[in-house]
């Protein structure tokens, strides 16, 4: 009698055990193939380009084969390539200028949009339009606007009695012109993130600040900024990484010129790979960029976590 009861209980438990097994294995069965395909598509180019960076390969020569050179590409870039240092300088100038202006303007625009305004929806849509435009189109638009003879920028300056320069033809004006185009495109991105953070803020801290006699600036400095600081850090980190690897806008506007005044690291790697066809050298340049981004992002995250804890 006891044996039959145990057998019946084991039969009843078996479907439940099988159901739990199916529930546990379902994510693996359904998502496993997609994860494997994505991993292969990501892992193969990574390993291929990493190994290529340790080799010399001239793609323009049909008979050329990979020649292992070890760290020679990296050493040559860091020690004996003067154009690399100019590319680092141009990247740093572009990065600092664009991100600084975008963060300041983005916060200001978000504060304005957070108020009750007539036609608020239309105003938000107009401000967000540059964000929905592809960088290549943005580059073409601003290239037409910077045209010294028929461009809108010089035309408006002419109405004020000012003779506009050839914006993209002089080293003194090329970088500011590129920075302005990037700021026009990506400031709405910062404004959108900050606006979402502002609209999610609780009302109680602001009411308490008003009761305590805080001014508008004090409320912003000591209440608003600490509360939206996580959103600001996210926007700052995304824009830092994105500005560091900007390529399409610079390619359309200046192609790194005049001279090398706007030739950033991404443009420099592109030229070595697809104009000089030195694929190993270009791969090494790309991995130096990746290394810089990873180090900078980790340092930024560590500092932001310390700031939040403090």
Domains in the chain, number: 2
Q: What is the enclosing helix (H) or strand (E) of 55?
A: strand 55-56
Residues 239, 245, 248, 252: is their CA dihedral positive or negative?
positive
Residue 258 has pLDDT above 80, yes or no: yes
pLDDT digits (tens, 9 = 90+) for 292-301: 988 888 888 8
User: Residues 90, 8: one domain?
Assistant: no
pLDDT confidence of residue 21: 55
What's the rounded mean pLDDT across residues 141-166? Answer: 90
pLDDT confidence of residue 20: 65
pLDDT confidence of residue 267: 93
d(CA 155, CA 83): 36
d(CA 126, CA 202): 28
| Cβ-contact 181, 142 below 8 angstroms | yes
> Considering the entire predicted model, what is its pTM?
0.84
DSSP-derived secondary structure for 144-196 = HHT-TTT-HHHHHHHHTT-----TTTSHHHHHHHHHHHHHHHHHHHHHHHHHH
pLDDT band at 1 (very low <50, low <70, confident <90, very high): very low
User: Residues 147, 28: one domain?
Assistant: no
pLDDT confidence of residue 75: 93
User: Residues 20, 98: one domain?
Assistant: no
Query: For residue 254, is it within any domain?
Result: yes
pLDDT confidence of residue 120: 76
Query: For residue 20, is it within any domain?
Result: yes
The first and second tokens of residue 31, run together, are: 């998502």
Q: 20: domain range?
A: 2-41
Query: For residue 55, is it within any domain?
Result: no
Query: For residue 10, is it within any domain?
Result: yes
Of 189, 196, 175, 192, the C-alpha closest to 135 is 189
Query: For residue 24, is it within any domain?
Result: yes
pLDDT confidence of residue 119: 73
pLDDT confidence of residue 23: 66
pLDDT band at 310 (very low <50, low <70, confident <90, very high): low
User: Residues 101, 248: one domain?
Assistant: yes
CATH number, domain of 253, equals 1.10.3720.10
User: Residues 30, 98: one domain?
Assistant: no
User: Residues 31, 119: one domain?
Assistant: no
What's the rounded mean pLDDT across residues 117-123? Answer: 77
Q: Fill in the DSSP letter of residue 263.
A: -
Residue 3 has pLDDT above 70, yes or no: no
User: Residues 12, 131: one domain?
Assistant: no
pLDDT digits (tens, 9 = 90+) for 162-192: 888 899 988 899 999 999 999 999 999 999 9
pLDDT digits (tens, 9 = 90+) for 210-254: 888 888 888 888 889 888 988 998 899 899 989 998 999 999 999
| Cβ-contact 290, 238 below 8 angstroms | no
User: Residues 183, 299: one domain?
Assistant: yes
pLDDT confidence of residue 308: 67
Query: For residue 88, is it within any domain?
Result: yes
User: Residues 238, 135: one domain?
Assistant: yes
User: Residues 22, 88: one domain?
Assistant: no
What's the rounded mean pLDDT across residues 132-158? Answer: 90
Query: For residue 195, is it within any domain?
Result: yes
Query: For residue 67, is it within any domain?
Result: no
User: Residues 98, 20: one domain?
Assistant: no
User: Residues 217, 289: one domain?
Assistant: yes
pLDDT confidence of residue 11: 46
């Amino acid at each position: 009698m006891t044996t039959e009861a145990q057998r019946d209980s084991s039969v009843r438990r078996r479907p439940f055990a099988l159901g739990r097994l199916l529930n546990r294995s379902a994510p693996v069965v359904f998502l496993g193939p997609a994860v494997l395909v994505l991993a292969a598509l990501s892992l193969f180019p990574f390993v291929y380009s990493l190994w290529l960076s340790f080799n010399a390969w001239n793609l323009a020569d049909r008979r050329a084969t990979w020649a292992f050179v070890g760290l020679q590409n990296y050493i040559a870039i860091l020690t004996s390539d003067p154009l690399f240092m100019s590319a680092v300088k141009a990247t740093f100038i572009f990065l600092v200028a664009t991100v600084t202006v975008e963060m300041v303007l983005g916060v200001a625009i978000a504060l304005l949009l957070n108020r009750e305004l007539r036609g608020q929806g239309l105003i938000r849509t107009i401000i967000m339009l540059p964000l929905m435009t592809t960088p290549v189109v943005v580059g073409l638009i601003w290239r037409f606007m910077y045209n010294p003879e028929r461009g809108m920028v010089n035309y408006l300056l002419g109405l004020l009695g000012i003779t506009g320069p050839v914006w993209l033809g002089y080293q003194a004006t090329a970088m500011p012109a590129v920075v302005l185009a990037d700021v026009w495109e990506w400031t709405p991105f910062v404004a959108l993130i900050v606006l979402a953070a502002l609209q999610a803020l609780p009302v109680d801290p602001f009411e308490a600040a008003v009761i305590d006699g805080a001014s508008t600036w004090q409320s912003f400095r000591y209440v608003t900024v600490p509360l939206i600081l996580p959103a600001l850090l996210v926007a700052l980190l995304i824009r830092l990484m994105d500005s560091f690897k900007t390529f399409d806008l610079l390619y359309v506007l200046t192609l790194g010129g005049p001279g090398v005044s706007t030739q950033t690291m991404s443009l420099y790697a592109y030229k070595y790979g697809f104009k000089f066809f030195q694929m190993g050298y270009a791969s090494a340049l790309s991995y130096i960029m990746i290394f810089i981004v990873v180090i900078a992002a980790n340092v930024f995250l560590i500092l932001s976590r310390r700031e939040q804890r403090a």
